Structure 1
Amino acid sequence: LMKHSTGGYLSKGFEYKFLPSVYLVVFILGLLVNGWGLKSLAQKWKKLGNVNIFVLNLGLANMFYLPTLPFLVVYYFKGSIWIFGDAFCKITRFCFNLNLYGSIGFLTCISVYRYLAIVHPMRVLGRITVTHSVAISVMVWLLVGVQSLPDMFYPKNKGKIPKCYHTTSTARIEDYLIYSLGWTLTGFFIPFLITLSCYGHVIVILCRKNSIQTDTKQRSLRLLFILILLFSVCYIPYHIFKNLTLWSRVLEKQKICRDWSNGAFIAHQISRGLVCLNSALNPLVYLHVNEEISAQLRHSLSQLIKEMYQSFV
């Protein structure tokens, strides 16, 4: 076991093998699926509806983060030695936060709009325009930017060996824990409750009303499953173990050691790998919000399978 620079103990080499492997896979897969999704939306630019504006911004949030992953791969392959400068380190971490909380914000917007369309269709029909969606999207970006900006003012690199801390150095850890808890509340927990409430109500309505088409019910249930998957795998573990690890570092600074601190730290490293998967999983939302994109994918896949079959025959 070795002492980690951010507090806690872990098996030697775990972080340097796990994280770069995940980042590399997400980088390749994320560029492919997000590039395809954004291209499909761009082809239907004039037909973009209210919800598709949020889907477009969801894809943009992913594309802000994906180009930074190769630099993080190099960082962890080199044993947490950052060679790209302190300013770019902060930009890289800022892009991660824009992606994470931008994704959560736009998934919440999609959930609210789906809720209004299914539960209150007559009240919102024609009243919510594309202009409203654009204005809300701008507000989401501003809110995410304001929440993420303070993170850039915390030191990310202390000591002789150049680092690029995910959070901050031990000197400011108490302040950062308070900031992180507030950030978790406003950037994750409140949007999560809104999403949960919206889809909980939607499921109740879908189960009660026989007038709603079976296709609409199935698409809504599939989208709910995707959101549950995203929150359960990517978002919930990350926020729990991030704050637990920060707390354990505060206790360690006060010369108080807890038996769970090592487990929390390792779990946090795993959750960091899982949270970046949202950039590869978010495009699943494209397929269940936009019918034309889903149909286009099915057509492309059938053509690909047909061509492969003919080449073998």
Structure 2
Amino acid sequence: MGGGRNRKSAFGETGSRSECGIQVYLSVKGPASAPDTMTTDLNLTSLLNVTDLHNQTRGCSLTKTGFQFYYLPTVYIMVFITGLVGNSLAIWMFVCHMRPWSSISVYMFNLALADFCYVLSLPFLIFYYFNKTDWIFGDLLCRLQRFIFHVNLYGSILFLTCISVHRYTGVVHPLKSLGRLKKKNAVITSALVWVVVVISMSPILYYSRTGLKRNATTCYDTTTVDELQGYFIYSMTLTVFGFCIPFIIIFCCYGMIVKALIYNDMNNVPLRQKSIHLVIIVLAVFAVSYLPFHVMKNLNMRARLYFQSPDMCDFNNRVYATYQVTRGLASLNSCVDPILYFLAGDTFRRKLSRATKKPSKKGENCLQSKSEETALNSPG
């Protein structure tokens, strides 16, 4: 009876992995008859398979330090405060003081809207990390939290790409762009961006989930071990199409803009300065916020999948800790993006100064009459 039960456990139908090891030990010590020898060989094969699976999934247990518990909530608090103020101010300016909108104003408004939605979700994460990564808000909110982060991340990248293409078309091909840089086209493009991003991020609602770990409920920022292989493929696909290709487009667009400004010997100094400022801030956002996050996220998942031998545990812990740092950096785009609105042209700064210095008359805030064509509507 006992031997039969142990033999069943060794083949993985019932019982735990520890039972498999005990069963093989007893089988090896048993009489060396032909049937028992065959059973021993099968049991040893089963043990090797189970041990290999064990090494792949639980070979290294990640060590969470106090740094990780306090670093992310500290960064999120800073992003929440500055992002809430900056993006609220930007949305208020676009809605109440920037009419009529130019096409680039449409892209910037949607960028501010994506950032604003993300910063509103941060209090849940702040509490989660101060609570020693014990999620108390339920599985649905966990999935929505991770979904909102990725929608903001890739939505911001695509809207920055739209702004870059708009600038490139207006500066490098000013004659060809006549009639193409209309607000209507920008509205349609922005709507398509939202649709593409929401559909592309929908798998996050499946992969992200809660799970019990060390007597605490974890809200996985990636996914569980069982789903890691599929998520890794999905993450690499997002990295290529949601980050690498847009980054190449942005880099090429701004490279051509700088080349055009230098070799055309333009006398429009404000236009040149404005474009150079945009190049610097956009490339800085990618270099500091987006690039490290994508590199370390995929490296961390690869380590969880393939680097699970005991001699790799220290390396895995360093990768995991670095990945946590880049998660904080990735959230910084929500408080850095408002800088774009100030660097994009004189109109935003001028109207912001006018709106804050003079008290608005009754009914004047959101019902402005025709204003002059904004500098943002210029090709540059």
TM-score scaled by length of structure 2:
0.74
Cα drift, residue 229 of structure 1:
1.1
Residue 87 of structure 2 corresponds to 34
Q: CA deviation at 1:267?
A: 1.1
Q: What is the number of residues matched between the two proteins?
A: 299
Residue number in structure 1 paired with 2:247: 192
2:297·2:323 contact (CA, 8 Å) conserved in 1? yes
Partners of 2:142 and 2:290 in 1: CA distance: 22
Which residue matches 1:266? 321
Given that 2:151 and 2:201 are in contact with CA atoms closer than 8 Å, whether structure 1 keeps it comes out as yes
Report the counterpart of residue 154 of structure 1 in structure 2.
207
DSSP-derived class of the 1:81 partner: coil
Partner Cα separation in structure 1 for residue 273 and residue 76 of structure 2: 33
* 1:124 match: 177
- Is the alpha carbon distance of 1:114 and 1:43 closer, same or farther for their aligned partners in structure 2, counting shifts above 3 Å? same
Q: Mean Cα displacement is larger for which, 256-265 or 226-235?
A: 256-265
Residue 25, structure 1, aligned to residue 78, structure 2: yes
Are 1:165 and 2:225 counterparts?
A: no
Q: Which runs of 5+ in 1 are unaligned?
A: 304-313
Mapped to 2, the partners of 1:165 and 1:32 lie a distance apart of 29
Task: Provide the C-alpha distance between the structure 1 equivalents of 2:238 and 2:223, rounded to a whole number of angstroms.
Answer: 15
Q: Secondary structure at the match of 1:46?
A: coil
Change (3 A) 1:155 1:65: closer
Q: Say which SS state the counterpart of residue 219 (structure 2) adopts.
A: coil
- 1:24-52 superposed Cα distances (whole Å, 9 cap, x missing partner): 11101111011111111112353100111
Partner of 2:292: helix, strand, or coil? Answer: helix
CA contact (8 A) 2:97 2:351 kept: no
Q: Is contact 2:98-2:351 (8 Å) kept?
A: no
Aligned structure 1 segments of 4 or more residues deviating by more than 6 angstroms: 300-303
Aligned-pair distance for 1:198? 0.2
Q: Deviations over 1:43-100 (max 9, x none)?
A: 2353100111000000010011111101100000010000000001111111111111
User: Which residue is equivalent to 1:101?
Assistant: 154
How many Å separate the matches in 1 of 2:265 and 2:201?
A: 44
- Counterpart in the other structure of 1:308: none
- The structure whose Rg is larger is 2
Residue pair 2:93, 2:352 contacting (<8 A) in 1 also: no
Cα deviation 1:105-156 (Å, max 9, x = unaligned): 0000000000000000111112331111011001111111121111111152
Matched, 1:79 2:107: no
Q: Residue 243 of structure 1 aligns with which residue?
A: 298
Query: Deviation per CA, 1:273-305, whole angstroms, max 9, x where unpaired?
Result: 1110100000011112242212234557889xx
Note the alpha carbon deviations across 1:210-250, whole angstroms, 9 max, x for none: 13501100000011110011001100000000000000000
Q: Name 1:50's counterpart in structure 2.
A: 103
8 Å Cα contact 1:248/1:258 also seen in 2: no
Equivalent AA in structure 2 for residue 209 of structure 1: N
Instruction: Output the aligned Cα RMSD.
Output: 2.1
Give secondary structure in 1 for the equivalent of 2:278. Answer: helix
Cα distance, 1:132–1:259 mapped onto 2, change above 3 Å: same
1:8/1:265 contact within 8 Å kept = no
Q: Structure 1: which amino acid aligns with 2:162?
A: C
Q: 1:287 aligns with which of 342, 345, 359?
A: 342
Task: State, as a whole percentage, how many aligned pairs show the same letter.
Answer: 35
TM-superposition CA deviations, 1:131-183 (whole Å, max 9, x none): 11011001111111121111111152222521111101111111111110001
Q: Which of 163, 166, 191 does residue 113 from structure 1 map onto?
A: 166
What does 1:211-230 correspond to in 2, within 5 Å? 211-230=266-285
Task: Name the SS of the counterpart of 1:126 in structure 2.
Answer: coil
Deviation at 1:252, TM superposition (A): 4.5
Q: Structure 2 residue aligned with 1:92, among 130, 145, 150? A: 145
Q: Structure 2: how far apart are the matches of 1:46 and 1:155? A: 40
Cα distance in 2 for partners of 1:173, 1:256 equals 22
**What is the TM-score of this pair, normalised by structure 1?**
0.90
Letter of the 2:153 partner, please give it: L
- Judged with a 3 Å threshold, the aligned counterparts in structure 2 of structure 1 residues 39 and 74 are, in CA distance, closer, same or farther, namely same
> Once structures 1 and 2 are overlaid, which stretch shifts more, 264-273 or 107-116?
264-273
Tell me: CA distance 1:170–1:253, structure 2 relative to 1, closer, same or farther (3 Å). farther
Contact 1:115 1:199 (C-alpha < 8 Å) held by counterparts: yes
Q: Give me the whole-angstrom Cα distance separating, in 2, the residues matched to 1:151 and 1:8.
A: 24
Name 2:22's counterpart in structure 1. none
User: What residue is the counterpart of 1:210 in the other structure?
Assistant: 265
